[in-house]
Structure 1
Amino acid sequence: MDLSDGRVLHLSTTPQRPSVSARITLLDTISRRVFDHCPICGDPATEEEHVPPAAMGGEKLTFTCAACNHRLGSHVEADLIDWYDNMITLPRFTGPGVQSARRTPRIPLMWTPEGEFAFLLSGNIDPAIDEMLRSGEIELAGLLPDENRYRLALLKHSYLAACLRFGILEGADSDHVRRDLITARDVTGRMNAPHSPLAMGLTVIRHDGATALASAPLVRAVVHLDEEPVEGVLLVGRVFVSWSSTFDPGQSPPDQNRHLQVSMQVGRPISGTVASVDP
């Protein structure tokens, strides 16, 4: 972003988190494949399914039933998209001189190269938020993505990718995957998504570099960590998800604090223009 005072402000959605060094070997692209029955529940496959979700860059690569497509998607995939995009959901702003909290659409978590937190507001913003910003003090509260739910979504799409590559999978492990996905599909709402030790035990590695590792939405890949090589699928060139899980059936739900609360001191306003956006 080019600022009016001549400075250039670089912002990135890449989180300031510990990095994992891993070598990845890309094996082959996974192509479209259509099944007569839903690979997840066995009902007639009537709905085209994006693998992974379209909002991540996925494509229509197979068919599932309406329930597994829409209900399972609405219960777990919103958190996957928020995690992939590094979004704060249900953001609320409070500040001096404004009696109640003001909401905005979800906003991206962003950082400067020095590790300072930043956020960008776009669209129709409540004028009261501008008043808060000009006061010099503001508090931001919101929610971070639910790890269990976005990992259930990753379990769904890694399983579908495996079915596309090898055919609908059989055996006790695949039955367990389908059982967890169907249970998540059939709950009364996304907040009731069941804890899945199987999903939490997946190996998930995210590539935050400027260039994707592959252009295809699904690529079979092997990640070489300190332990044995792990085979799985690379989603949209950026997210590796294993086809195996180191899960403990008795594992308790993760102790996760999804609530974000940030107090900020805001300097004087500076106008600017967005000069470039990296993917």
Structure 2
Amino acid sequence: MTRRAPESMSIALPTGRAIDAAIRPDDPGESAEVTLIEPIRPRVFESCPICGDPATSKEHIPPDRIGGKVMTRTCLPCNNRLGSNVETDLLDWVEGALSRPSLRSAAVQGPRREKRVLVRNTPEGEFVLVIDGRAHPDLKAMLESGEVDLDAVLPNWGRCCLALLKHAYLAACLTHGVLEGDVADEVRRDLIAARDAENKQSVPTSQLALGLTILRTYEPTTDEPAIRAVLHDPAGPVEGVLLAGRIFVSWSSVIPKDVPEAHGRLNRTLRVRAPVRGTVTSVES
């Protein structure tokens, strides 16, 4: 099984205080009512539902690392290459991660780079940064200097939406068979264009993906990888799919939203107080 990033942890400090750090929203936003209808069952296609080539590769819906299971088959490029181009940003968004972080400090010459930094929050609104994996040995001296410059890449929202479009589309195909019609053709065109992009940075923008209704809960409601669901909107019920018990996705765009910057970066100067040695008492993934 693919290693999952820790979602929460508790750290006991010598003062007797405990830091409870978890993936929490900066802004809780408004609540919404979603009714779960029925789990979506696996279904095997002989031809890839995305491009029509022979379906030879086992496909997780949604990605394994956020709770998906093998639910169908696609062709190898639509599984691996499309996944590589768009799903990393989905994983970073779900796991609260900053990618390609670079850290600088007067204590060490030149930058030190990590793979990812996980952002966790306390109930009091404090943030905790966790190195995902083994930290560079120079990081200790950098933190002890009292000031560290952090530069990192935020999840790309356009690619994140394309990943959700892929898995919502496949979930719909599991329920109804390979979809037909103008919208389904547009979905496939956008997914194939993302698959065939030379690299992640050249993945074209999908207006259909950016127009999806996407809701997120930070407390998983079920272990089922995909469930038919209905959002109760004042304008009427909105059908969609709940992925990994935490992400509702629908083709219908009913919730006005500000689209995050597509290629955002985070640049911050961290001022660090004297180090305190704590003990990690629990970790949940």
TM-score by length of 1: 0.93
Asked if the contact 2:118/2:132 (under 8 Å) is kept, the reply is: no
Q: 1:276 to 1:255 in 2, by over 3 A?
A: closer
How many residues end up aligned between the 2 structures? 272
Of 239, 250, 264, which aligns to 2:270? 264
Distance change in 2, residues 1:75/1:256 (3 Å): closer
* RMSD across aligned positions (CA): 1.7
Q: Could you tell me how far 1:18 is from its partner in structure 2?
A: 4.1
1:137 alignment partner in structure 2: 147
- The answer to whether the aligner puts 1:239 opposite 2:247 as a matched pair is yes
Describe the SS at the equivalent of 1:224. Answer: strand
Bigger shift: residues 263-272 or 149-158:
263-272
Aligned to 1:36, what secondary structure does the other structure show?
Answer: coil
- Contact kept, 8 Å, 1:143 with 1:259, in 2: the verdict is yes
Name the CA distance, whole Å, in 2 between partners of 1:243 and 1:214.
Answer: 22
* Greater displacement, 10-19 / 72-81: 10-19
Alignment partner of 1:160 is 2:166: no
Larger strand proportion of the pair:
2
The match for 2:7 is none
1:199–1:245 CA contact under 8 A, matched in 2: no
User: What does residue 249 of structure 1 align with?
Assistant: none
1:228-251 CA-partner distances (Å, limit 9, x unpaired) = 2211100010000113357xxxxx
- Say whether 1:70 aligns with 2:80: yes
CA distance in 2, matches of 1:260, 1:123: 20
> What is the alpha-carbon distance in structure 1 between the residues aligned to residue 158 and residue 142 of structure 2?
35
Output the amino acid matched with 1:238: R
Summarize the Cα distance change of 1:114–1:28 in structure 2 as closer, same or farther, 3 Å threshold. Answer: same
Secondary structure in 2 aligned to 1:100? Answer: strand
* Contact 2:67–2:223 under 8 Å retained in 1: no
Report what 1:218 is aligned to: 226
235 and 122 in structure 1: CA distance in 2 versus 1, 3 angstrom threshold: closer
Contact in 1 for aligned 2:43/2:174 (Cα 8 Å): yes
Structure 1: distance between partners of 2:155 and 2:163: 12
Partners in 1 of 2:181 and 2:132 — Cα distance? Answer: 49
Amino acid at match of 2:280: V
Q: Secondary structure at the match of 2:139?
A: helix
Cross-structure match for 2:238: 230
Distance 1:174 1:125 in 2: 45
Pairwise mapping of residues 54-65 of structure 1 onto structure 2 (< 5 A)?
54-65=64-75
Unaligned runs of 5+ in 1: 247-252
Structure 1 residue 112: deviation in Å?
2.2
Confirm or deny that 1:199 pairs with 2:205.
no
**Superposition deviation, residue 119 in structure 1:** 0.5
TM-score of the superposed pair, with normalisation by structure 2: 0.91
Aligned to 1:95: 105
Deviation at 1:44, TM superposition (A): 0.7
Give the deviation of 1:109 after TM superposition. Answer: 1.0
